Chain A
Amino acid sequence: MSTVAVEARDDFPTATAPREHYLNVNYGVKSWLLTTDHKRIALLYLASITLFFFLGGFFAVVIRLELMTPAGDLVQSETYNKLFTMHGLIMIFFFLIPSIPAVLGNFLVPMMIGARDLAFPRLNLLSWYIYVLGGLFTLCAAVLGGVDTGWTFYTPYSTTYANSNVILTAVGVFITGFSSILTGLNFIVTIHTMRAPGLTWFRLPLFIWAHYATSLIMILGTPVVAITIVLVALERGLHIGIFDPALGGDPVLFQHLFWFYSHPAVYIMILPAMGVISELITCFSRKRIFGYGFIAFSSVAIAVLGFFVWGHHMFVSSQSVYAGLVFSVLSFLVAIPSAIKVFNWTATLYKGSVSYETPMLYAFGFIGLFTIGGLTGLFLASLGLDVHVHDTYFVVAHFHYIMVGGAIMAYLGGLHFWWPKMTGRMYPEGWARLGALIIFIGFNLTFFPQFILGYLGMPRRYHMYPPEFQILNVMSSAGASILGVGYLIPMVYFLWSLRYGAVASANPWRAKGLEWQTPSPPPTENFSETPIVTEEAYNYARQEAVGV
């Protein structure tokens, strides 16, 4: 998309003279902690979720160390339970769910639609504080001894049997949910009411469509898990039997309510990632997206269908076979919009001028890994096969291919792509390509063996295993150490680039989005004057034709 003057505005005289932008407009702790600028709030989120990412990663390191040997020689089973619980809780609720929406979405949604800010800037800041408060509760629970129920809080582990800090953790997750709701609400209202003149729905970047679909899930799903957590806390605190069969309650009802949110939550993690990929693929193949409408509506279709598949988590939880059949068929349906996206991205590459900058490497990684993760999801949606691999490492490998191979690859790709816009500095391309490669190799070495382990029958959530599984587990742990190094590399050079990176021009990738038509870093008001949109998204053909 572009304004009338896109060609002429490609190269601003950035940073030659000190120019006022959102980072240097004022300084001091207060100017950050009380900011209502969506760009600064995005950076607040970036800092806090990075912290949680490395904390969650730390738990993963201990898990992989323990699994190097068949015996439980590093930690005891209670500790191990706490390790995988804290890893899951932190990575899902405090890293993956906020990652792309709260950082990239926060920064980019207003810029991509030509707005000065989100519709409710103070609500946006509030959502960050709510997130931090929820995080503090969960950290308190971790420091006071952790929680051992699994991130799913299944009853009766979480109500009758757990001796750990269930209520404290539950309160943390409950609170953080509201930050997600507020973000989703803010995006929906902003996208509806604040688009620049000429920016019709079908001229929107697909990143925006993806975030719109994500926001729908956030406001529809999150309140259900919130009230479910309240019921668990009531049961545990007051010793009443809402989910306790001895007192007339039904533990399976908990699973229904929990997965009604938590399966759609998977799409909260992957849909924004798909939005990022659409931006990267078009920019680095210099082509209009293939099948814009299909990709846009497939995001909405995934969001809608996602609410009707939760039962596939409960094939072996005494759910009726007929319900299982319906949920199985509905789960298969999700593959259709997902495949539409993958095929359309691939078709976009066809006859494109493909180049291999770091963001594009991550995009390629995403497409491959997401495809593997998605296809193995179909295995798990099959009633018969799921009985065999249920609660094994096959499931663990499957969702890590989606969440780490999919969501985190896209998050890193997006972070590289928009880093010049966010900071005004380029990252070092050589190091970044090396980092992307190491992450890709480390990831596959970590998680591919887990498919085999699961298929051979190794259950998840145990710290001991039969000796014949050791080779594959050692491979997985070795991969994890490579993956860990891979994640540290961007961390280091991103920080390095803040001071020593080359100064970024307004549009270093010659990309088409509105966010590239304002200086890097943007001024507080984003645009010196409201842009007017006169063409479709990703109109690279025109740009190439006029030879910019």
Chain B
Amino acid sequence: MSESHRALAHQFDDLEQQAEAATLGIWAFLITEILFFGGLFTGYAVYRTNYPQAFAEASHHLDILLGGINTVVLIGSSFTMALAVHAAQSGKRRALIAFLLATMLLGAIFLGIKVVEYSHKFVDHLVPGRTFTFPGAYAPQAQLFFSFYFAMTGMHAVHMIIGLAILSVLVGRAWRNRFSAIYFAPVEVTGLYWHFVDIVWIFLFPLLYLIGRH
């Protein structure tokens, strides 16, 4: 293979090697991300075990309906992302752009709903800090719960925003017809990132919203 493609970087011999490097690179990065979130999950698990009662009570203050809708929205966005990758692989430019935009739309809906949820917490004085109030005997522990709630969902939201930024760059490049059936690694790599961010939410939702609810 010695075709010289516009997208082939000088350090690689061919596009195949380049795509292999990109794929391995994103997997290595996702492993880093797992450990990044892993620190938060560990802390949450420790305190959940130490204060089961308080954490169960605190989690009742989360809006399970909005959280549930968001879960569906996010799974939908993973579906459209998978379709976008498929469109890129088959060299269908219009379908690629459409599915990327659909993914962005669903991601934006998720963030919008998250903003509504956060604002409810502000109104109810459930945001950790000086104004935090929680009825009952478990105020400090409930504050811990909400600290982790905001840290984990906040960190997740940051990843969503970064994902949206990358997707918008991809839309621009797809618009200028930069991808083809032999060169689509950026779409594939972004897809892996997007699925990862979704999977983080798939773990966050039951851990934060569902455990302790009967």
Contact = CB atoms under 8 A, between A and B. Distances in A.
Interface of A: 110, 115-121, 181, 184-186, 188-190, 192-194, 219-224, 226-228, 230-231, 234, 238-242, 246-250, 253, 257, 525, 530
Contact of B144 (A185, A188, A189, A241): A241
A446 B86 CA distance: 63
B32 A220 contact: yes
Contact of B43 (A110, A194, A219, A253): A253
17 contacts: A116-B11, A119-B12, A119-B25, A121-B9, A181-B32, A186-B25, A188-B24, A192-B24, A194-B12, A223-B32, A223-B33, A228-B39, A240-B147, A241-B144, A248-B54, A253-B46, A257-B39
A446 B28 CA distance: 41
B36 A224 contact: yes
Nearest to A253: B46
**Among the interface residues B147, B151, B155, which one has the most CB atoms of the partner chain A within 10 A?**
B147
**Among the interface residues B10, B17, B21, B31, which one has the most CB atoms of the partner chain A within 10 A?**
B21
Interface magnitude class on chain B: 35 or more
**Among the interface residues B32, B54, B128, which one has the most CB atoms of the partner chain A within 10 A?**
B32
B37 interface: yes
Contact of B46 (A234, A247, A250): A250
Contacts of A247: 140, 143-144
Given A117-B11, A241-B140, A247-B143, A189 B25 contact: yes
Contact of A219 (B17, B31, B39, B128): B31
Given A185-B25, A190-B21, A224-B38, 13 more contacts: A189-B28, A193-B17, A193-B24, A194-B17, A219-B35, A224-B35, A227-B155, A231-B40, A246-B140, A248-B50, A248-B143, A253-B46, A257-B39
A221 B132 CA distance: 33
A185 B27 CA distance: 10
A116 B10 contact: yes
A193 B20 contact: yes
A239 B132 CA distance: 11
Contacts of A188: 24, 28
A227 B20 CA distance: 29
A489 B129 CA distance: 54
Nearest to A260: B39
A186 B26 CA distance: 11
Interface of B: 9-13, 17, 20-21, 24-25, 28-29, 31-33, 35-40, 42-43, 46-47, 50-51, 54, 128-130, 132, 140-141, 143-144, 147-148, 151, 155
A116 B29 CA distance: 23
B129 A185 contact: no
Contact of B129 (A116, A230, A239): A239
A277 to B, nearest CB: 27
B130 A120 contact: no
Contacts of B28: 184-185, 188-189, 219
Contact of B36 (A184, A223, A239): A223
Contact of B140 (A230, A248, A525): A248
A169 B24 CA distance: 33
Nearest to A254: B43
A194 B21 contact: yes
Contacts of B51: 248
B141 A248 contact: yes
Nearest to B132: A240
A227 B10 contact: no
**Among the interface residues B29, B39, B42, B143, which one has the most CB atoms of the partner chain A within 10 A?**
B39
Contacts of A250: 46-47, 50
B24 A231 contact: no
B11 A119 contact: yes
Contact of A115 (B11, B40, B43, B143): B11
A301 to B, nearest CB: 19
Contacts of A246: 140
**Among the interface residues A189, A192, A194, A257, which one has the most CB atoms of the partner chain B within 10 A?**
A189
Nearest to B144: A248
Contacts of A221: 35
B149 to A, nearest CB: 12
B130 to A, nearest CB: 7
B32 A118 contact: no
A120 B21 CA distance: 9
Given A120-B25, A192-B24, A248-B51, A241 B37 contact: no
B43 A257 contact: yes
A119 B21 contact: yes
Contact of A242 (B11, B36, B147): B147
Given A238-B128, A248-B140, A118 B11 contact: yes
A120 B140 CA distance: 46
Nearest to A219: B32
A66 B18 CA distance: 55
A116 B40 CA distance: 39
Closest 3 CB pairs between A and B? A223-B36, A227-B39, A117-B11
A257 B11 contact: no
A227 B36 contact: yes
A231 B140 contact: no
Nearest to A526: B11
Contacts of B42: 257
